[in-house]
Amino acid sequence: MTAPLLEVRGVSIAFGGVVALDRVDLEVGRRELVSVIGPNGAGKTTLFNCICGLYRPDAGRIAFEGRPLPRRPDLIARRGIARTFQNLELFRHSTVLDNVLLGRHLHIRTPFVAAALGLPRWKRDEVAHRRRVEEILDFLDLQAARHRRVGDLPMAQQRLVEVARALATEPILLLLDEPSSGMTAEEKADLVHRIKDIREEWGITVVLVEHDLKIVMGISDWIAVLDHGTKIAQGPPEAIQRDPQVISAYLGETA
């Protein structure tokens, strides 16, 4: 078997006395579509924050493509990990286009002087990146909103802009943190297709944190369940649905 793309080994982190993650293991293979579920406060977002470098785990290690990750989040992004945020972290005052163009940032090689003087080199680069951004806007059906301020868009579109910005970095691994929250049933159905496409057509590995179990059961290759910072179960959707520990975590002790 080949080495996993993402390898989380024994990661623990505590905030004061609260243990947010306790020796969590997670192995994600290339081109897998994996979900991490669990009740509120189970440590799902904390796990994402550890992977993308916003938190430094107290113990354990995280490897990506067989090598340990650098410390700084921007360097981790350059290794090919992109994410979205549960509480939308958009550049609210910029347009959709500028938000997604920022995703191209780590691919922009324009020298400072060329940008400062608006040289042809800058213009060429800018147009090339714009073309790439437009493909992503097409894919997520955001073309009509490209010149609108992100802060003025409805919630569902704002979530898509976050996905677009993450895709613009051309990631190998995409971490989606509750992408469907605040969406209507129709928008959710649409999102499911987009996430599938991201894996099937773009070949991107996806780790999904999601509360909507219908989505999770429908699209995941396998599911990991967190509760109080520990992984209590892992397996294919059918098995997770029947797992007594998972049921008790979701419905309370001995229902």
Question: Under the rule (CB under 8 A), what is the footprint of other proteins?
Answer: 52-54, 72-74, 76-78, 82-83, 85, 89-95, 97-98, 101-106, 108, 110, 112, 115-118, 122-123, 126-127, 130-131, 134, 147-149, 165-166, 169
Structure tokens at 231: 């992984």
Taking Cα atoms as reference points, which of 166, 150, 149, 146 lies closest to residue 158?
Answer: 150
Number of neighbours of residue 65 by Cβ within 10 angstroms: 15
Choice between 61 and 124, CB closer to other proteins? 124
Q: Identify which of residues 67 and 147 has a Cβ nearer to other proteins in the complex.
A: 147
Q: How far is the CB of 175 from other proteins (least distance, A)?
A: 9
Longest dimension (CA), the chain: 69
Minimum CB separation of residue 96 from other proteins in Å reads: 9
DSSP characters over 137-181: HHHTT-GGGTTSBGGGS-HHHHHHHHHHHHHHT--SEEEEESTTT
Closest CB 149 distance from other proteins, rounded Å: 5
Q: Please identify, using beta-carbon distances, which residue of 100 and 224 lies nearer to other proteins.
A: 100
Task: Judge whether 51 and 5 are in contact, CB under 8 Å.
Answer: no
Nearer to other proteins, 153 or 219 (CB): 153
Shortest Cβ 57–other proteins spacing (Å): 16
CA 131 to chain centre: 23
Q: How far apart are CA 188 and CA 239, in angstroms?
A: 24
Q: How far is the CB of 228 from other proteins (least distance, A)?
A: 25
For the bound state, the minimum distance from the C-beta of residue 205 to other proteins, rounded and expressed in Å, comes to: 17
Instruction: Give the nearer residue to other proteins in terms of CB position, either 130 or 199.
Output: 130
Give the nearest distance from C-beta 108 to other proteins in angstroms: 5
**Torsion, Cα of 226, 231, 237, 241 (10° steps):** -70
**Nearest to 162, CA basis, from 136, 190, 130:** 136
Query: Pairing state of beta strands 222-227 and 59-64?
Result: unpaired
Q: Which is nearer to other proteins, 27 or 98 (CB)?
A: 98
Task: Name residue 126's amino acid.
Answer: E
Cβ-based nearer residue to other proteins, 165 or 188: 165
